[in-house]
Chains A and B, each alone.
Chain A
């Protein structure tokens, strides 16, 4: 069961929605947030947070999603944390780029709160080991705009 989430996103609305969705799924789920990639990396380095999965918005100031992903994948201690690229841009546009850069999947920000909650719920119900399988089944169900490795 995945219980520790991290979201890096500069959009306060999206951060609020994300947090609310997780709370509604299970109020014991831990969410840490950063408003850009730089803050994310700093928080990870200080060791105060140990996420099991990281959601990365693409368009962020300072260090954007792509640069953050690259930094994470170059770092031995952080490389193993699965990263979900999480952005408004269409999955068909940026999906493959995300996979190539080492993300576990690209998840297009959904147009409803229910869908977001549904997706996160499926993540919380799986284990770190079965994460990819879960994502693949979501992709196969076509219930979300997602590209999986």
Chain B
């Protein structure tokens, strides 16, 4: 277009050169060519803006034929508001001053329809430099304008939608929604992130998301593992403790999603985090309740077994001496008793009464081995052993017993019960020693591996101390190993021994009360081993 105008002016100047004939011919041909151009309206204006010539393009774009428009003002093409603000005159003035005026704007066709015109007005000068008229060149850019406008609108919509989306994310409070670059550095921050993690946007943007992880997780490489998993699988989820700005922790549910550009190259990650601390606490509470319930259940089962053994004690063991007292008292009433008979019956009555008393005291002691109203304390079992050895000093001296012990652990429990447990195991070991062989008792302790727990232990996920009492006594048949712990169960005949048979029941009850257990193994004549399991302090 520009070129055309320049050429035109050059040509009009050349009209007045010496080669006039030739030039005139060329000019005529040129005018003819211009009149045929269809895509551009090209026409001449006089100094006042009246139309002097018209071409095909002008007719096509503006709708007027040459005879309708020649001699009229070019103002006709301008909409009323442009005419009012004297745009046509201004453009001519500008062209007069600067040689050229360029403008884009709405113009009016003959039928009143608007079109988007791109206009160049070029001033034409005579040999003295006076403006003699103008060449006006107009292109119809209505379609391009419409396309541009559509594009603008779309762009605007996109911009707004992006803005809304961004606002939405910014305003979300329940989720921390972040963008990370490929290295895991934080690119944006929302209100949720601020509320959950405690950082303000300006404190954290640009820093690594590793800031939210605990030292332990960072040492274990968890943040990198998550990014790697997201890169490989598109997404990575994780639940765990995370760190707030103030150092406190929260239970986070995290989803990291890999983001890709249109060529599939990784450009970063989105990271959505929820604070599930309350839920986690609730779940943990439920779990604790379940464990507690399990323990209570276990205690109830033990209590139940104990109650039925008490019923048996009453129906059998306590009944027995009463029956004998009745029998021998009854026999004293027989008419033909000698003095010796009477005394023998009296002795039987007394020994039955004594036995009755011993049994009742045993039952009382047994019932004192109870967790009711008992304060748990940390007990050093070395101290317990020392005080039990003190209690048994005379028996130890008389039997020449050797008691050796390795270092024993401290446990949480009830001192009286632990004392009874040690007392009964040690006195039992001395009571059932081989005749003529001084008792040798060794006590040792070790922390047992998970797999070797007896199945009766209530807490499978805890460490237990196994305390082993080994002796060189008479022992017992292995098939009696469970029975010996029953209340008032004796493996030996009544006349052979002192005591009531409650000792090992007390040992078992004390162990059970401490959420532990006791087992026994023996080879007759080779000695016995008692294994006491007690939970280790956590």
Residue A90 lies at the interface, judged by CB distance under 8 Å to chain B: yes
- Minimum CB–CB distance from A95 to chain B (whole Å) comes to 12
| B315 and A35 within 8 A (CB) | no
Residues of B within 8 A of A62 (CB): 491
Q: Is the CB of B316 within 8 A of A61?
A: no
| Chain B: minimal CB distance from A12 (Å) | 6
Contact B493 A89 (CB under 8 A): no
B60: CB under 8 A from chain A? no
A35–B316 touching, CB < 8 Å: no
CB atoms of A112 and B492 under 8 A apart: no
Q: Does A129 contact B (CB under 8 A)?
A: no
The digit string for A80-113, where 1 denotes a CB below 8 A from any CB of B, is 0000000111100100000000000000011111
Partner of B493, one of A10, A17, A114: A10
A95 to B531, CA, bound (A): 37
Are A87 and B326 in touch, CB under 8 angstroms?
no
Q: Mark A40-76, 1 if CB is under 8 A from B, else 0.
A: 0000000000000000001101100000000000000
Question: A59–B495 Cα gap in the complex (Å)?
Answer: 14
Residues of A within 8 A of B493 (CB): 10, 35-36, 61
Q: Does B490 contact A (CB under 8 A)?
A: yes
Given contacts A13-B348, A59-B316, A87-B316, contact A112 B327 (CB under 8 A): yes
A11 CB within 8 Å of chain B? yes
Selected contact of A10 from candidates B326, B327, B330, B494, CB within 8 Å: B494
Q: CB-nearest residue of chain B relative to A88? A: B320
* B280 contacts the other chain (CB 8 A): no
Closest chain A residue to B318, Cβ basis: A88
Report A1-26 CB contacts with B as 1/0, cut-off 8 Å.
00000000011110001000000000
Judge whether B319 and A112 touch: CB under 8 Å.
no
- Docked-complex contact A11 and B494, CB < 8 angstroms: yes
Query: Which residues of A sit under 8 angstroms from B32, Cβ to Cβ?
Result: none
Give the distance to chain B from A120, nearest Cβ to Cβ, in Å: 14
Contacting residues, chain A, for B491 (C-beta < 8 A):
61-62
Complex Cα distance A6/B494, Å? 20
C-alpha spacing A111/B320, complex, angstroms: 9
> Which of the four size classes fits the interface of chain B?
20 to 34
Report the separation of the CA atoms of residues A113 and B322 in the bound assembly, to the nearest whole angstrom: 14
- What total of A-B pairs shows CB separation below 8 Å? 47
Complex Cα gap A89–B314 (Å): 9
B494 pairs with A89, CB closer than 8 A = no
- Nearest CB on A from B345, distance (A): 10
With a cutoff of 8 Å between Cβ atoms, the chain B residues found around residue A87 in the complex are 316
Within B304-351, the residues touching A (CB, 8 Å) are 312, 315-317, 319-320, 322-324, 326-327, 330-331, 334, 348
By secondary structure, the A interface counts as loop
Task: Choose from B312, B331, B492, B495 the contact partner of A113 (Cβ within 8 Å).
Answer: B331
A62 to B491, CA, bound (A): 6
Contact B327 A17 (CB under 8 A): yes
Instruction: Please measure, in the bound complex, the distance between the C-alpha atom of A59 and the C-alpha atom of B334, giving whole angstroms.
Output: 30
Find out whether the CB atom of B316 lies under 8 angstroms from the CB atom of A112: no
Q: Which residues of B contact A35 (CB under 8 A)?
A: 493
Residues on B with C-beta less than 8 A from A110 are 323
Q: CB within 8 A of B315: which of A61, A93, A114? A: A93
A109 to B327, CA, bound (A): 10
Residues of chain A with a CB closer than 8 A to B323's CB: 88, 109-111
Given A35-B493, A62-B491, A90–B315 Cβ distance below 8 Å? Answer: yes
Q: In the assembled complex, which residues on chain A have CB atoms less than 8 Å from the CB atom of B312?
A: 89
Chain B hits for A12, CB < 8 A: 494-495
Shortest Cβ distance from A17 into B: residue: B327
Shortest C-beta distance, A10 to chain B (Å), equals: 5
Interface string of A106-130 (1 = CB under 8 A from B): 0001111110000000000000000
Contact partners of B324 in chain A: CB under 8 A = 13
The answer to whether A113 touches B494 (Cβ under 8 A) is no
Q: Which residues of A contact B334 (CB under 8 A)?
A: 113
Bound CA span A112–B326, Å: 7
The answer to whether A61 and B490 touch across the interface, beta carbons within 8 angstroms, is yes
**A1 to B236, alpha carbons, bound, how many Å?**
92
The 4 closest A-B pairs by CB, nearest first: A111-B326, A112-B330, A88-B320, A89-B316
In the assembled complex, 28 residue pairs joining A and B whose CB atoms fall closer than 8 Å, in A order, are: A12-B494, A12-B495, A13-B348, A35-B493, A36-B493, A59-B316, A61-B490, A62-B491, A87-B316, A88-B316, A88-B320, A88-B323, A89-B312, A89-B315, A89-B316, A90-B315, A109-B323, A110-B323, A111-B322, A111-B323, A111-B330, A112-B326, A112-B327, A112-B330, A113-B327, A113-B330, A113-B331, A114-B330
Known A-B contacts: A36-B493, A88-B320. Give 16 more (CB < 8 A): A12-B495, A13-B348, A58-B316, A62-B491, A87-B316, A88-B316, A88-B319, A88-B323, A90-B319, A109-B323, A111-B323, A111-B327, A111-B330, A112-B330, A113-B327, A114-B330
